[in-house]
Amino acid sequence: MPNPAILTVDDDPAVSRAVSRDLRRRYGDRYRVVRADSGDTALEALREIKLRGEQVAVLLADYRMPHMNGIEFLESAMDLFPLARRVLLTAYADTDAAIDAINLVDVDHYLLKPWNPPEEKLYPVVDSMLDAWRASPEPPASEVRVVGHRWSAPSFAVRDFLARNLVPYRWLLADEPEGGRLLTAAGLTADDVPLVLTSDGKTLAAPSETDLAVHVGLTTTPSLEFYDLVVVGAGPAGLGAAVYGASEGLRTVLVEQRATGGQAGQSSRIENYLGFPDGVSGAQLTDRARRQALRFGAELLTTREAVGLESGGTSRLLRFGDGTSIAAHTVVLATGVSYRMLDAPGLDELTGRGVFYGSASTEAPSCIEQDVYIVGGANSAGQAAVHFARYASRVHMLIRGSDLRHSMSSYLIQQIEAIDNITVWPHSEVAGAHGDGHLERLTVRDPRSGDTRDVDTSWLFIFIGAEPRTGWLDDAVLRDRLGFVLTGPDLLCEGKRPPGWTLPRDPYHLESSMPGVFAAGDVRSASVKRVASAVGEGAMAVSLIHRYLEAQ
């Protein structure tokens, strides 16, 4: 982070150079001295400093300037840096104006010209201003900043994207002072949110995920034209395949549409994963796996939507939504599954405005002392309930069955039973959502009797079922009736190999109906839906890929 700034503004070039020279001589090793020749250029410099997340300690402005005098400039500067100390440079004849400025616009001090010798007339004043500023400085903003509205779905989407990609950011509301100052500095209004400010001061108004990824340091384009292995999907299975593929010398690229980790990456705590007796959050596990894959030389591409898979002799071609493609000897399909959308009136309109699919852990601190409703009875829902119970006054779990035993691990059931502010509501489903701009009320129904009741809440998190992310494959590989990819023995029908199979061998255990294309994790038909098994299948796929490549 650069040193805090001392900004001077004076339309007289000789005076401007003199004050800047004297300030640099005394403070140049600790502060940046920024010089401007008018109020307008000074404000433009302040806006740039604001957008870069840097600090301004002291402002020195000449009183007699055309177009915008020193008092007017300091008034405007206060909107951007309210904690900066303000000094007015005046001639003796303007003393009364300077005193009025102290009383009316909160100027901290005035200095008479000339200020020679500076050791007696300039430095003591600036020293006292710097002491006062250091006592209450504005925090530097070295991380990404996001300005948005509390119940804005686009604002939530930006925050969720950054959080799931492990990009630190600071969240600021557009209707609060600092958020308003950043919008002003960027020349935007509250209608232009979400506003993203990168660590180098770049401003992005309502950015696409691809633009956002590029400007926060994520990689979106491949460095090679051809790879040994393309892994599609960066959940546990994909990360496992990338780690083992890259560590064993395969030119490996990992392609992800949104963020690493998949559903597991959204989990607040995974307690039954081998080697973590005290549990580990999905984000922590994802970060370790991602760093491990990168250390071994795998590439990670984000915001790349796969839309097609083709076979071309011994190569496999993966096509993207933007018209580009990437080729490789082999492919691992590890796209995982997504939560099913809940079909009830009002939910679509309120998604991202109080209705969320998955844990949306970024929202947990906002749920303090409020009622939270969770739909679902599997492990992901249970982990979310335990997590939100730390913030909410009460967590209500709505399940269609009579209890949790048939769908949730016993360790989680025991935890839920031991937490006083979690209530499980059996035989309950959401029949409707209501609210003006954000969720305010739910209609809950008993599916047996049809009886309904309304409950007040601003928070609904949905964890129901899973649909494989395989629609983009079309007929490239065979899938079961639910859309999961068929592999290995499941492709054989009465001992016959799948249609179009050209090799003189049966498909390998994790191999799909297209030779050289493997499936791992939740996307594979009849797989065990657990993090450990997904990682294991990712590693196993790489072992089978070596056998495939050796036979080519």
CATH number of the domain bearing residue 192: 3.40.30.10
* Same structural domain, 155 and 119: no
pLDDT digits (tens, 9 = 90+) for 100-153: 666 666 788 888 888 889 999 999 999 999 999 998 766 666 689 999 999 999
* Same structural domain, 272 and 205: no
For residues 285 and 320, what is the distance between their CA atoms, to the nearest angstrom? Answer: 28
Residue for token pair 């930006």: 158
* Same structural domain, 232 and 288: yes
For residues 159 and 144, what is the distance between their CA atoms, to the nearest angstrom? Answer: 10
Question: Domain containing 397: what range?
Answer: 347-462
Residue 340's Cα: distance from chain center in Å?
Answer: 22
Q: How many CA atoms lie within 13 A of 61 on its CB side?
A: 29
Over 80: is that where the pLDDT of 225 sits?
A: yes
pLDDT of residue 541: 98
Task: Tell me what the mean pLDDT of segment 175-202 comes to.
Answer: 92
Residue 59 phi/psi, 5-degree rounding, is -120, 125
pLDDT of residue 500: 87
Sign of CA dihedral 39, 45, 50, 53: negative
Task: Tell me what the mean pLDDT of segment 51-79 comes to.
Answer: 90
Collapsing DSSP to helix, strand or coil, 237 comes out as: helix
pLDDT of residue 105: 63
pLDDT of residue 384: 93
The three-state DSSP-derived secondary structure of 72-89 is HHHHHHHHHCCCCEEEEE
Q: Which of 190, 215, 240 is the last residue in one of the domains?
A: 215
For residues 101 and 81, what is the distance between their CA atoms, to the nearest angstrom? Answer: 18
In a domain, residue 275? The reply is: yes
* Same structural domain, 264 and 200: no
Q: Are 152 and 191 in contact (CB under 8 A)?
A: no
In a domain, residue 325? The reply is: yes
Task: Give how many domains the chain has, as a whole number.
Answer: 4
Confidence grade of residue 75 (pLDDT, cut at 50, 70, 90): confident
Q: Which of 135, 166, 190 is the last residue in one of the domains?
A: 135
For residues 86 and 100, what is the distance between their CA atoms, to the nearest angstrom? Answer: 14
For residues 120 and 430, what is the distance between their CA atoms, to the nearest angstrom? Answer: 74
* Same structural domain, 118 and 17: yes
Confidence grade of residue 323 (pLDDT, cut at 50, 70, 90): very high
pLDDT of residue 272: 87
pLDDT of residue 399: 97
* Same structural domain, 67 and 159: no
Confidence grade of residue 218 (pLDDT, cut at 50, 70, 90): very high
Collapsing DSSP to helix, strand or coil, 422 comes out as: strand
Over 90: is that where the pLDDT of 524 sits?
A: yes
Give the relative orientation of helices 70-80 and 95-104 as an angle to the nearest 10 degrees: 20
pLDDT of residue 140: 62
Tokens standing for residue 242? 């990338």
Strands 371-375 and 460-462: parallel
Q: How many CA atoms lie within 13 A of 97 on its CB side?
A: 17
Confidence grade of residue 361 (pLDDT, cut at 50, 70, 90): confident
On the 0-12 / 13-18 / 19+ scale of CB atoms within 10 A, 55 is buried
Task: Tell me what the mean pLDDT of segment 14-36 comes to.
Answer: 95
Task: Tell me what the mean pLDDT of segment 50-73 comes to.
Answer: 90
Q: How many CA atoms lie within 13 A of 186 on its CB side?
A: 30
Mean pLDDT of the chain: 92
* Same structural domain, 131 and 10: yes
Over 80: is that where the pLDDT of 414 sits?
A: yes
DSSP H helix total and E strand total for the chain: 16, 26
* Same structural domain, 37 and 87: yes
Task: Tell me what the mean pLDDT of segment 501-521 comes to.
Answer: 96
pLDDT of residue 141: 61
Secondary element (H or E) of residue 170: strand 169-173
Q: How far is CA 183 from CA 144, 169, 191, 390, in A?
A: 15, 17, 10, 33
Task: Tell me what the mean pLDDT of segment 143-169 comes to.
Answer: 92
pLDDT of residue 138: 66
Concatenated DSSP letters of 87-129: EEEE-GGGHHHHHHHHHHS---EEEESP--SHHHHTHHHHHHH
* Same structural domain, 155 and 82: no
* Same structural domain, 518 and 370: no
pLDDT of residue 142: 62
pLDDT of residue 79: 87
Task: Tell me what the mean pLDDT of segment 485-502 comes to.
Answer: 92
* Same structural domain, 319 and 395: no
Q: Which of 166-170, 333-337, 381-385 has the lowest mean pLDDT?
A: 166-170
On the 0-12 / 13-18 / 19+ scale of CB atoms within 10 A, 480 is middle
Q: How far is CA 176 from CA 146, 155, 172, 460, in A?
A: 13, 15, 7, 26
pLDDT of residue 90: 85
